[in-house]
C-alpha cells in the first residue's frame, strides 16, 4: 500500500535494464510512492535490455549516459534537473559489471585491464557521480544517495571474483563522500542486498547454488527485489533523515549468522 513517502521528490535511477532489474523494481516503487524520476543507463543497454519499453510504460524519460564519463554525468545531471523541474532529492547507483566474471576468468588468472574496467564501472563511477552532483550543487537539502552492494565486500565468495574488491571500494566511497555531503545535509548510504534473481546476477557462476545457500542460511530467507525496493524508498524518504555513511544489510539476517541447522538438513 502506497503512503506517498516520496510525494514531490525527484531523482535519478541508474541501472535499470529490464523488468527483472533491481533498479527497475525500485523505480516502480518510487513512482508508486509519488516520486518523479529520470532513468539512465549506458548506451549499450539499447542493444540488450528493454528499457525503452519500460520507460514508455510509466511515462518517464531516459537519458543514456556512460557512468564512467564525467562529461556525460554532468550532462545527465543538468538535463535531469531541467526535465524534473529542479534539484534532486534522491539518486540510486545500481551499476556493476565484471568482464572477468562474464568470461569466466578464474580469480587466480585475472585480466588486469578487465579488472580496471570492473573497478571503473562498478565503483569509481560512484565517486564520479557524487563528485559531479557535489560540484553542481544538484542535491536538495536532506536528499539521499544510495548505492547497491553485496556482503562479498566483507566476506569471501570465490565466484564473485574482483567484484568483491569493487564493492569494498564502493562502500568506502559512500563513507568518505558521505562526510563531505553531510555539510550539504545530504545522506549517502549503501544497501547490502541478498543474492537476488536478476538478469545480471544470474550470469555469475554457480548462482543458483549461491542463491539457495543464502536463502537457507538467512533466518528470514533472502530479501526479494520488491523488499529491496521498499527499503530503498525508506532511505529516500524523510523518515531516515539522520542515517548516513552506513552500509545497511538487507539480507534476511544472513550477515549475522554463523551456522544454520537448515544448511545441514537438520
Question: Which residue of the set 64, 160, 179, 249 is catalytic?
Answer: 160
For residue 216, say whether it is annotated as part of any ligand binding site: no
231 in catalytic set: no
For residue 15, say whether it is annotated as part of any ligand binding site: yes
Alpha carbons 229 and 72: distance in angstroms, whole number:
27
Alpha carbons 84 and 61: distance in angstroms, whole number:
10
The CA-atom distances, in angstroms, between 266 and each of 135, 218, 253, 262, 263 are 55, 15, 19, 6, 8
Written as nine digits, the cell of 140 is 536538495
150 in catalytic set: yes
For residue 13, say whether it is annotated as part of any ligand binding site: no
- Residue 145's H or E segment, with its range, is strand 139-149
Alpha carbons 205 and 27: distance in angstroms, whole number:
28
Alpha carbons 264 and 266: distance in angstroms, whole number:
5
Question: Which residue of the set 64, 150, 179, 231 is catalytic?
Answer: 150
Dmax over CA atoms of the chain, in Å, equals 58
Annotated binding site for NAD(+): 15, 95, 167
Task: Tell me the catalytic residues.
Answer: 150, 160
Residues of each annotated binding site:
15, 95, 167
Amino acid at each position: 500500500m502506497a503512503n506517498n513517502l516520496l510525494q514531490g521528490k525527484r531523482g535519478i535511477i541508474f541501472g535499470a535494464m529490464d523488468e527483472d532489474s533491481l533498479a527497475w523494481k525500485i523505480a516502480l516503487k518510487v513512482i508508486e510512492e509519488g516520486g518523479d524520476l529520470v532513468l539512465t543507463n549506458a548506451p549499450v543497454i539499447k542493444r540488450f535490455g528493454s528499457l525503452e519499453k519500460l520507460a514508455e510504460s510509466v511515462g518517464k524519460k531516459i537519458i543514456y549516459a556512460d557512468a564512467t564519463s564525467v562529461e556525460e554525468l554532468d550532462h545527465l545531471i543538468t538535463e535531469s534537473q531541467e526535465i524534473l523541474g529542479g534539484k534532486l532529492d534522491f539518486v540510486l547507483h545500481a551499476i556493476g559489471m565484471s568482464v572477468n566474471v562474464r568470461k569466466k576468468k578464474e580469480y587466480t588468472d585475472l585480466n588486469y585491464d578487465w579488472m580496471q574496467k570492473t573497478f571503473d564501472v562498478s565503483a569509481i563511477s560512484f565517486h564520479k557521480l557524487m563528485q559531479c552532483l557535489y560540484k553542481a550543487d544538484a542535491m536538495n537539502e536532506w536528499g539521499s544517495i544510495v548505492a547497491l552492494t553485496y556482503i562479498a565486500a566483507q566476506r569471501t565468495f570465490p565466484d564473485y571474483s574482483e567484484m568483491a574488491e569493487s564493492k569494498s571500494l564502493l562502500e568506502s566511497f559512500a563513507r568518505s563522500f558521505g562526510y563531505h555531503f553531510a555539510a550539504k545535509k545530504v545522506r549517502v548510504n549503501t544497501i547490502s542486498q541478498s543474492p537476488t534473481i536478476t538478469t545480471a546476477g544470474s550470469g555469475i557462476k554457480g548462482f543458483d547454488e549461491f542463491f539457495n545457500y543464502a536463502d537457507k542460511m538467512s533466518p528470514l530467507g533472502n530479501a526479494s527485489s520488491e523488499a529491496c525496493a521498499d527499503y530503498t524508498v525508506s532511505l529516500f524518504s524523510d523518515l531516515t533523515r539522520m542515517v548516513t555513511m552506513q552500509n545497511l544489510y538487507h539480507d534476511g539476517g544472513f550477515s549475522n549468522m554463523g551456522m544454520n541447522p537448515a544448511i545441514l538438513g537438520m
